[in-house]
Amino acid sequence: CGNQIGAAFWQQISSEHGLDANGVYNGTSDFQLERMSVYFNEASGNKYVPRAVLVDLEPGTMDAVRAGPFGQLFRPDNFVFGQSGAGNNWAKGHYTEGAELVDQVLDVVRREAEGCDCLQGFQITHSLGGGTGAGMGTLLISKIREEFPDRMMATFSVVPSPKVSDTVVEPYNARLSVHQLVEN
């Protein structure tokens, strides 16, 4: 859920900045170019790439984002994913499967942060219902907070609802996550 929302976010931000699906500027306003560096790095050939790290514990969502309309916009090495998934289990995302992948994710986050002239903070989109977004998401947030204690952290967290819930453990995953979000 978080990666799908993130992909929609990048599609909208790209459009607002005058970028096509390949990251090429086709805009009409100097203001678009002035603010391009807030969310994008300039690559070769007047192409812009998002400062984004996409994370999941299974490759399926990453494949869907890559196959989407703006899938070619992202740096291929900023997709970090595992092979096993968390099985809607917060503990697997936070303590086992996610813990095995989090250092690799942090390496990519560090690389992106080092490329910024003036890093202000982080935006994170994730779901609180599943094992990856809830468990690994909160683990990653706490690790980023440790490494960047003076930077802003904004989370866009999708909270499960009994009206659209597809898994019985979603409320438990959300409950385990909220404390972590408040702390960090």
| Burial track 75-97 (b if 16+ CB lie within 10 A, e otherwise) | beebbbbbeebbebbbebbbebb
Let me know if 14 is exposed, middle or buried by CB neighbors in 10 A (0-12, 13-18, 19+).
Answer: buried
pLDDT at 45 (0 to 100)? 82
What DSSP string runs through 51-80?
A: ---EEESSHHHHHHHHHSTTGGGS-GGGEE
Would you tell me the crossing angle of helices 2-16 and 59-67 to the nearest 10 degrees?
20
pLDDT at 165 (0 to 100)? 82
Q: Look up the pTM and report it.
A: 0.93
Which residues form the domain of 28? 2-183
pLDDT at 95 (0 to 100)? 98
Query: Which of these, 118, 117, 123, 115, lies nearest to 156 by C-alpha position?
Result: 123
As for how many domains the chain has, the answer is: 1
Give 161's DSSP letter: -
pLDDT at 169 (0 to 100)? 96
Q: Looking at residue 62, which CATH number applies to its domain?
A: 3.40.50.1440
72 to 24, 43, 63: CA distances (angstroms): 11, 13, 11
Q: What is the pLDDT along the chain (184 residues), one digit of tens a residue?
A: 999 999 999 999 999 999 999 999 999 999 999 989 999 999 988 899 999 999 999 999 999 999 999 999 999 999 999 999 999 999 999 999 999 999 999 999 999 999 999 999 999 999 999 999 999 999 999 999 999 999 999 999 999 998 988 899 999 999 999 999 999 8
